[in-house]
Structure 1
Amino acid sequence: MIENATQEVHDARQRHHREMIERTRLRRLVERVDEVISACEEIHLQSIKETPADLKSRAEDVFSFARSAVSKTGDREALAAVEEAINRRQIKITEIMDILWTIQEIVFDLMLPWRTELPEDVEPEGPISGAPDWRRWTAVA
């Protein structure tokens, strides 16, 4: 009995260790994606449309890391979605940014599985009960 309990404790520690490694890997991926998105936004604000070679290289590094990190989760659907995103056209900065945002969404869903269970944003019909009347708080001239 003590042997079984000891083995269960060891198994739980190993599971926890693997989960921590995966979470860290996915967090690092999110950080890398954010860095490249930020660089893309800076370039885009300068009215440059096509992706410069250095930024393209950074994006390719992130794409490679994304493939590796997502494949290690064992989620085949997520990996297929990452591959589909990466296979899109990658000439304009906005196209690179769209791919990075897609990868980021996929990773967030892997990190927080409950996100996929949330209902889509739907506008309710009619007045929302309990909602404040915004007109009451505006100045009337």
Structure 2
Amino acid sequence: MKISIGNDHAGPDYKKAIVAMLQSKGHEILNHGTDVFDSVDYPDFGHPVASDVENKTADFGIVICGSGNGIAMTVNKHQGIRAALCWTKEIAALARQHNDANIISIPARFTSIPQAVEMVETFLSTNFEGGRHANRVHKIACQ
């Protein structure tokens, strides 16, 4: 699988751990995140991830900022993106099962690195259930 990842200054350590896990499982990574802790603007790192998923250059995306909210709002501006702010593996599973989320947003200041890695593993290994959820997901897109 090809995974696009982007983070601001709150997430370099999170990204490093997540990328290591993903690469150990043979996934290809498109890295749009910063590696430094100097203040940066999260939209600069979120938009490229959303574009990768939107254009099918990547299968899924991962975005990380302090609260997870700003970067989720950013990527959700793109058509076809369904980013879910997750803080537990259960929410990550439901985001895939019920919402067919294609980007997970991680709040670095409110989750631990092991939690974040576990959420990403769950997110990527959980399938969309379809059925009654498919009509709802279809209604998300403004048409």
Task: Give me the TM-score of the superposition, normalised by structure 2.
Answer: 0.26
**Which of 1 and 2 has greater Rg?**
1
Task: Give me the TM-score of the superposition, normalised by structure 1.
Answer: 0.26
